[in-house]
A and B are shown apart, each in its own frame.
Chain A
Amino acid sequence: MEVDLSSRIGWSTSPAAWSNVEAVGLDMLTVLGSDTRDWLRINLQLYAVRVDAQQSHPFAFDGTGEWKFQPRNSFLDILLLPRGVLTARAGHFELPYGLEAYIDTNGTLRQYTTGRDLGIKTDWGSALTGTHAGIEWIASLSRGSGNEWNGSGDPWLALGRIGMPLDGASSVGLTAAGGDIRVAGKAPPQARWRVAVDGRIEFLSFDLLGELSGGQDEGAGRVGGVVELDWRNRSEVFLGYFQMFPEWRNSTRGAEARLELRSGFLWRVVRGLSLSAEIRQAAAAPDGQPHSTGIFTQIRYRL
Chain B
Amino acid sequence: MRWVLLCLSFLLTAFPSNADAQAFCALRDPHTAIAELFPEATTHRSMVRRLGPGEQTELRRRFSEDLPNYEFGEHTVYAVFRDNEPLGVVHVRSEKGTWGLLEIAWALDLDLRLRAFRLQRGYEAGASALFAGPFPDRVAGLGLEQLSREKSLGLNSTLLVDLPEDQKVFAATLVQAAPRAIAATRVGWQSDLAELRALAQSHAGQGDSG
Q: Do A and B bind each other?
A: yes
Q: Which residues in A have some Cβ–Cβ distance to B below 8 Å?
A: 1-2, 26-38, 41, 43-46, 48, 67, 69, 73, 82-84, 104, 106, 131, 134, 165-169, 202-205, 232-236, 270-271
A29-B26, A37-B81, A67-B1 known; A131 vs B123 contact (CB < 8 Å): no
Q: A-B pairs with the 9 shortest C-beta distances?
A: A37-B43, A84-B31, A82-B43, A29-B21, A1-B20, A31-B46, A271-B70, A30-B19, A205-B99
Q: B94 → chain A, closest Cβ, in Å?
A: 8
Among the listed B15, B44, B98, B120, which residue makes an inter-chain contact with A83, where contact means beta carbons less than 8 Å apart? B44
Among the listed A28, A32, A270, which residue makes an inter-chain contact with B21, where contact means beta carbons less than 8 Å apart? A28
The answer to whether A236 touches B100, judged by C-beta atoms less than 8 angstroms apart, is yes
Q: How far is the CA of A169 from the CA of B124 in the complex (A)?
A: 10
* Residue interface bits B155-181, CB-to-A below 8 A is 1, else 0: 000000000000000000000000000
Residues of A within 8 A of B81 (CB): 36-37
Q: A169 → chain B, closest Cβ, in Å?
A: 6
The answer to whether B69 touches A38, judged by C-beta atoms less than 8 angstroms apart, is no
Is B209 positioned at the interface, with any CB of A under 8 Å from its CB? no
Residues of B within 8 A of A28 (CB): 11, 15, 20-21, 23
Q: How far is the CA of A67 from the CA of B20 in the complex (A)?
A: 26
The answer to whether B11 touches A1, judged by C-beta atoms less than 8 angstroms apart, is yes
Is B35 positioned at the interface, with any CB of A under 8 Å from its CB? yes
| B17, B21, B34, B42, most chain A CB atoms within 10 A | B21
Q: B183 → chain A, closest Cβ, in Å?
A: 21
The answer to whether A44 touches B11, judged by C-beta atoms less than 8 angstroms apart, is yes
Q: B189 → chain A, closest Cβ, in Å?
A: 15
A30-B19, A37-B43 known; A46 vs B11 contact (CB < 8 Å): yes
The answer to whether B100 touches A36, judged by C-beta atoms less than 8 angstroms apart, is no
The answer to whether A29 touches B120, judged by C-beta atoms less than 8 angstroms apart, is no
The answer to whether B43 touches A29, judged by C-beta atoms less than 8 angstroms apart, is no
Among the listed A26, A36, A166, A271, which residue makes an inter-chain contact with B84, where contact means beta carbons less than 8 Å apart? A36
A1-B11, A29-B23, A83-B35 known; A166 vs B100 contact (CB < 8 Å): no
Chain B 62-88 residues near chain A, CB threshold 8 A: 69-70, 72, 79, 81, 84, 86
The answer to whether A27 touches B46, judged by C-beta atoms less than 8 angstroms apart, is no
Q: A110 → chain B, closest Cβ, in Å?
A: 14
